[in-house]
Amino acid sequence: MFDSHVHAAPDIVPRIGDDAAIGDAYATSGFAGFVLKAHYESTVGRAHAVAQATGLTVHGGIALNQHVGGVNPAAVAAALGAGGRVVWMPTADAHTQRAAGLPRLCNHEPLLSPRAYAIPPVDPTAEPAVDDILSLIADADAVLATGHLSAEECLWLADRTPRYGVSRILFTHPSYTVPGIDPAGVRSLAERGGFVEITAYQLLHQPGCTPALLARVAEAAGERLVLSSDTGQPDSPMPAEALTMLVDVLAGEGLDRGWLADAATTVPYELFAPR
């Protein structure tokens, strides 16, 4: 299996293990590798170190939150130039996160501004910066992940990317609280050519989330489905266990296990693999 979304220490919040512990756990579980994500730090160097230590395929990237000034092409150029494979649009500092009252860096450090970030059509002034970022992602043949942007912003991005040649798009847990897209909306995203993520974190922690709901989301995603853990929290299982659990739970809803296994293995591995 290949987990395309996991968190580890060091971080601004507690994690179940550091990079080395998470990497060793995946290796012990027979995983091919994982994508290391952090809301407030580039994980490019960390991913390289874990890959060297474990022999696994480990990718890193950057999330465009307040620590890099939000939607910032310079931060993207630096991360991709160092070998990053993914750029997440604003996550913890997206306007949706603020509206939902979910955790942000400014909650940890009151000296910081509570500013949040958006892209068109929510914030039309961000269009030039987003266009530069799309060009950089296309040049690196990296993955554009939508982060915690709203449905309208995800659709705008999906329609915008073809003009810049971005060929790898991952809609980050669209059925999670942020952005909170229903199965019909998820189908619309998948039809635009991106991949749709469902996470074990949703089953474990999302209010109102049920296996049946996630099964409908998976059906809407079809062959564009990606399953990941999005774990690393101290009150979640170890990530490898969490992703295996997600496959089992969805299979228990009557979905084809082979298709689910591909969504947690081949599909994400190939999505992030350099060509």
Tell me the per-residue pLDDT of 149-199, one tens digit each, with 9 for 90 and over.
999 999 999 999 999 999 999 999 999 999 999 999 999 999 999 999 999
| The amino acid at 23 | G
Maximum separation of any 2 CA atoms in the chain, in Å: 50
What span, in angstroms and rounded, lies between the C-alpha atoms of 149 and 147?
6
**Above 90 in pLDDT, residue 33?**
yes
In whole angstroms, what is the distance from residue 115 CA to residue 233 CA?
25
What is the pTM for the complete model shown?
A: 0.97
The pLDDT value given to residue 56:
98
Question: Of 221, 24, 42, 258, nearest to 34 (Cα)?
Answer: 24
| 99-134 burial code (b ≥16 CB/10 A, e <16) | eeeeebbbeeeeeeeeebbbbbebbeebeebbebbb
Compute the distance between CA of residue 196 and CA of residue 228 in angstroms, rounded to an integer. 10
What pLDDT sits at residue 108? 87
260 band by pLDDT with thresholds 50, 70 and 90 = very high
Question: According to DSSP H, which parts of the chain are helical?
Answer: 19-28, 44-54, 73-81, 95-100, 105-108, 127-140, 151-160, 183-191, 200-205, 211-221, 239-252, 257-263, 266-272
pLDDT at residue 139 greater than cutoff 90: yes
| Residue tagged 């990296």 (tokens) | 142
Which are the contacts of 99, defined by CB distance < 8 A and separation ≥ 6? none
CA–CA distance, 109 with 98 (Å, rounded to integer): 15
Helix or strand run (H / E) with residue 79: helix 73-81
Residue 143 has a pLDDT of 98
Q: What's the average model confidence in pLDDT over 33-51?
A: 98
**φ, ψ for residue 198 (rounded to 5)?**
-120, 140
Summarised one tens digit per residue, pLDDT across range 66-125 is 999 999 999 999 999 999 999 999 999 999 999 999 999 999 898 999 999 999 999 999
Contact of 55 with 27, CB cutoff 8 Å: yes
Rounded Cα distance, 165 and 146, in Å: 16
Average pLDDT, the chain: 97
Report the distance separating Cα 40 and Cα 108, nearest Å: 12
Q: Give CA–CA dist 126/55, Å, rounded.
A: 39
Go through the domains of the chain in sequence order and give each one's CATH number. Answer: 2-272 (3.20.20.140)
Residue type, 190: A
